[in-house]
């Protein structure tokens, strides 16, 4: 039985890594005052046809359900968010700061950092037009990545403004309706052969040189960028971002400031991407709800690759995982007549929040110690000849001491085993 291409099994060690990523995503979002929401995995296909753009529609996992509805697995969260906000917008104070960590699906060609199933952190601010919100968003994406131990030497946020490109087109007397098509060419500039790009630009009466000249010197079109810089620099984040007009984003709904995050060594695909989408809510609600909006998405796949490639980030993750072993305390039952006492202790310790394990059936003491090591337990408690004392052993140091069974909990407290949330 084979796995579908681009899908993953999550064995316990993979789940531990996934939990590490999700826990940090959630923790940093909360530090920024964001609240969590979620939506359905399956939506009507129309939701994505409406506004996401051709590229996403081509990548839909879509089918007809038994009620003959055209449905699709969510390839991204933004249309769901727009739909949800349009339904109950009045119930929430603005600006709304929301995050979600959906599993998304795209029928893409599988490659490094791109699968057909991935988790995607989504952070969005609804109902705030000021550049201060764009700055807050970029500060958040930076801090999410810093929480994994990455520094300004590991990644960079490349920021641009779609409006600057639209002003460029206007100056060349090119119709705004064709703007989307033009932005798609800019989006692929770095990935496509210059001749192919040149051919496409020709239909706009433009040359690659003109486009490159604008990229090198976007000049007065970028006042918003200066405002944004002031906000980010006030936070001390100068080293984490740069202006890069080649960033325009592939999705159709973006309107103003847009950004993408890349690893500094440029080995990987984008770690995250986002920007403003000030018209999406209006367009999705047929004009009923019109609210400014902006946000970003960050996938777990490229992030996981960058963690693997970055020794200090990898070490941080391994440390976190080691802090959360399957068991903290392993009860070694050397005398079967003590089993019922051990069971009562296991129950009591588990109620206190300790992770406790023991052999379910009689087994040799040596085997039980082996199982204790494998479980990651820090301490074993042996029920044997020493009764009414029990024998504690700290597995890392091999230190042993006897304690009266009555004082078991007090002794465990002295060992200060931390009880982790996850
Ligand atoms: P996106 O650029 O399509 O934007 O995706 C954002 C991030 O999701 C990417 O940078 C990447 O990390 C991850 N990602 C996308 N596709 C895949 C894939 N096939 N495999 C693994 N990871 C992937 C959006 O989806 C926007 N809805 C983000 C947004 C939220 N904009 C505003 N709010």
Judgement on whether residues 302 and 356 belong to the same structural domain of the protein: no
Residue 124 within any structural domain of the chain: yes
Residue 305 within any structural domain of the chain: yes
Would you state the pLDDT for residue 80? 97
Six-digit token string for 334: 């050397």
State the pairing for strand pair 155-161/241-243: parallel
Judgement on whether residues 374 and 255 belong to the same structural domain of the protein: no
Would you state the pLDDT for residue 128? 98
* N-to-C CA span, the chain: 32
- Among 288, 319, 350, the domain-final residue is 319
Residue nearest to atom 1 of ligand 1 (CA): 273
Ligand 1 pocket residue status of 115, Cβ below 6 Å:
yes
Q: What is the pTM of this model?
A: 0.94
CA dihedral (134, 135, 136, 142) in degrees, to 10, reads 110
Low-confidence ranges of the chain (pLDDT < 50): none
Judgement on whether residues 343 and 303 belong to the same structural domain of the protein: no
Q: At what angle do helices 12-31 and 311-322 cross, to 10 degrees?
A: 100
Nearest-atom index, ligand 1, CA of 122 = 30
Q: Which of 273, 276, 281, 300 to mutate to test the pocket of ligand 1 (most atoms within 8 A of CB)?
A: 273
Would you state the pLDDT for residue 102? 98
Residue 128 within any structural domain of the chain: yes
Residue 67 within any structural domain of the chain: no
Ligand 1 midpoint to CA 335 (Å) = 57
Would you state the pLDDT for residue 252? 84
Residue 268 within any structural domain of the chain: yes
Residue 52 within any structural domain of the chain: no
Judgement on whether residues 214 and 301 belong to the same structural domain of the protein: yes
Residue 68 within any structural domain of the chain: no
Domain count, the chain: 2
Would you state the pLDDT for residue 175? 79
Judgement on whether residues 81 and 99 belong to the same structural domain of the protein: yes
Ligand 1 pocket residue status of 128, Cβ below 6 Å:
no
Structural domain of residue 85, as residue ranges?
A: 12-39+77-319
CA atoms of 192 and 96, how far apart (whole Å): 38
Judgement on whether residues 223 and 347 belong to the same structural domain of the protein: no
Q: What is the pLDDT of residues 220-258, one digit of tens each?
A: 667 889 999 999 999 999 999 999 999 989 888 999 999
> Cis before residue 95, ω within 30 degrees of 0?
yes
CA atoms of 197 and 191, how far apart (whole Å): 10
- Among 271, 288, 319, the domain-final residue is 319
Nearest-atom index, ligand 1, CA of 270 = 10
- Among 284, 319, 354, the domain-final residue is 319
Would you state the pLDDT for residue 419? 65
CATH number of the structural domain spanning residue 381: 3.40.50.800
Residue 6 within any structural domain of the chain: no
Judgement on whether residues 169 and 248 belong to the same structural domain of the protein: yes
Judgement on whether residues 299 and 372 belong to the same structural domain of the protein: no
CATH number of the structural domain spanning residue 179: 3.30.930.10
Judgement on whether residues 271 and 165 belong to the same structural domain of the protein: yes
Ligand 1 pocket residue status of 124, Cβ below 6 Å:
yes
């Amino acid at each position: 039985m084979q796995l579908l291409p681009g899908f993953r099994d999550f064995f316990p060690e993979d789940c531990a890594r996934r939990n590490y990523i999700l826990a940090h995503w959630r923790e940093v979002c909360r530090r920024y005052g964001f609240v969590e929401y979620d939506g359905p995995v399956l939506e009507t296909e129309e939701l994505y046809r409406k506004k996401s753009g051709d590229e996403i529609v081509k990548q839909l996992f879509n089918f007809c359900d038994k009620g003959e509805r055209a449905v699709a697995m969510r390839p991204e969260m933004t249309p769901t968010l727009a739909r949800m906000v349009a339904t109950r917008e009045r119930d929430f104070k603005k600006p709304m700061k929301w995050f979600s960590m959906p599993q998304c699906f795209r029928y893409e060609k599988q490659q490094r950092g791109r699968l057909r199933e991935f988790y995607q952190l989504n952070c969005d601010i609804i109902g705030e037009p000021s550049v201060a919100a764009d700055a807050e968003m970029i500060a958040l994406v930076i801090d999410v990545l810093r929480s994994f131990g990455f520094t300004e030497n590991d990644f960079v946020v490349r920021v641009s403004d779609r409006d600057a490109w639209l002003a460029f087109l206007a100056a060349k007397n090119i119709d705004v309706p064709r703007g989307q098509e033009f932005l798609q060419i800019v989006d692929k500039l770095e990935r496509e052969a210059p001749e192919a790009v040149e051919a496409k630009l020709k239909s706009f009466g433009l040359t690659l040189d003109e486009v490159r000249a604008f990229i090198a010197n976007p000049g007065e079109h970028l006042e918003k960028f200066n405002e944004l810089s002031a906000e980010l620099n006030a936070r001390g984040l100068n080293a984490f971002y740069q202006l890069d007009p080649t960033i325009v984003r592939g999705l159709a709904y973006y309107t103003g400031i847009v950004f993408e995050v890349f690893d500094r060594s440029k080995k990987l695909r984008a770690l995250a991407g986002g920007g403003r989408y000030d018209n999406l809510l209006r367009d999705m609600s047929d004009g009923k709800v019109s609210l400014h909006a902006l946000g970003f998405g960050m996938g777990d796949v490229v992030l996981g690759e960058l963690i693997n490639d970055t020794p200090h980030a990898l070490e941080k993750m391994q440390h976190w995982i080691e802090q959360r072993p399957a068991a903290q305390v392993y009860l070694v039952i050397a005398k079967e007549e003590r089993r019922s006492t051990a069971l009562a202790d296991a129950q009591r310790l588990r109620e206190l929040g300790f992770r406790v394990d023991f052999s379910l059936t009689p087994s040799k003491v040596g085997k039980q110690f082996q199982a204790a090591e494998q479980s990651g337990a820090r301490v074993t408690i042996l029920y044997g000849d020493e009764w009414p004392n029990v024998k504690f052993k700290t597995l890392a140091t091999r230190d042993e001491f006897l304690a009266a069974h009555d004082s078991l909990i007090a002794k465990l407290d002295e060992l200060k085993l931390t009880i982790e949330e996850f």
